[in-house]
Amino acid sequence: MRRWPLGSWMLAGLFLAALPASAANIIVTPVRVTLSAKAPIASLEVKNGGDTGVLMQIRLRHWTQDNGKDVLSPTDDLVANPPGFRLAAGATQIVRFGLERPPANSEGTYRVLITQVPEQRLLQAGEVQTVLNISVPIFVESPNDKPDVLWSLRRVHGARLQLQAINRGTAHIEIGRLRITGAQGHLLVTLDKPAYVLAGQRHSWTLPETAALASGTTVTLNAETDSASVERKLVVGAGGDAEGSE
């Protein structure tokens, strides 16, 4: 259960938020689907808030990460019904998901791609149709899985500092607003760049040039996540946080 809203973030059809995901006139809720061996069926709602009917396609992808970049590949671990549909103006469609096989040893991570199919016959001369793509994460929970994050703050690219989160656990973590404060409690940096970090993966944020800190300086990191608010003491240039993992 989420304890805080990330707010909405949309980049190339990717939604990381605790509010309804929307783009153009299509609204999708919820913005995150959870399945498990005990609850192998879930659903989401796709609503057309516009005044024109649209043709929609549903595709399922296995979701992994490589050096902080998302990688999507075909999968038959899940099924979606219906796989495609026409959505009239103002209409709502329920899409159901079923788990075909549970993950073996850790959390399963997938994405459902909700795509508008172009209909050239509706276009008039000189018009260009923008194709809508919405990506919603699907997590298949496994008993006892949890994230385990190691934080570090190191110098890269000359004088620039880089904050890194390494997830050594067996479940994802969703990281929202990050705040770094100095020894006297004054605010040094605020980062509003939400990110998922899947199990066994890492993510980094490069701090602005204004965050000039000498190596060996101790700062406090406050991170909002989907599991809890985290506070850590970090030493600039050290290999990990000074208080253990999240």
Q: What is the β-pairing status of strands 218-225 and 92-99? A: unpaired
Two structure tokens written together for 174: 């969703």
Q: Choose which CATH entry (2.60.40.10, 1.20.120.1200, 3.40.710.10, 2.130.10.30) describes domain 149-235.
A: 2.60.40.10
Is 149-235 the same fold as 10-141?
Answer: yes
Instruction: Say how far apart CA 91 and CA 126 lie, in whole Å.
Output: 28
Instruction: Say how far apart CA 46 and CA 215 lie, in whole Å.
Output: 50
Residue 1 scores a pLDDT above 60: no
Express each pLDDT in 185-215 by its tens digit: 889 999 999 999 999 999 999 988 767 788 8
What letter would DSSP give residue 89? Answer: T
Two structure tokens written together for 94: 């329920």
Q: For the chain, what is the mean pLDDT?
A: 84
pLDDT of 212: 74
The mean per-residue pLDDT over the stretch 15-19 comes to 34
CA-wise closest residue to 30 among 70, 55, 68, 1: 1
Percent of the chain residues topping a pLDDT of 90: 60
Q: For the chain, which residues make up each domain, given as ranges?
A: 10-141, 149-235
pLDDT of 119: 72
Express each pLDDT in 89-133 by its tens digit: 999 999 999 999 877 778 999 999 999 988 765 555 555 556 789
Q: How is the beta sheet containing 41-48 ordered, strand by strand?
A: 21-23, 26-29, 41-48, 92-99, 78-81
pLDDT of 131: 73
User: What is the band of 147 on the pLDDT scale with cuts at 50, 70, 90?
Assistant: very high
Contact 200, 207 (CB under 8 A): no
The mean per-residue pLDDT over the stretch 36-62 comes to 94
CA-wise closest residue to 137 among 43, 23, 16: 16
pLDDT of 105: 72
CATH fourth-level superfamily of 10-141: Immunoglobulins (2.60.40.10)
pTM above 0.75, yes or no: yes
pLDDT of 4: 34
Q: Burial of 121 by CB count in 10 Å (0-12 exposed, 13-18 middle, 19+ buried)? A: exposed
User: What is the band of 183 on the pLDDT scale with cuts at 50, 70, 90?
Assistant: confident
Instruction: Say how far apart CA 70 and CA 56 lie, in whole Å.
Output: 23
More confident site: 88 or 7? 88
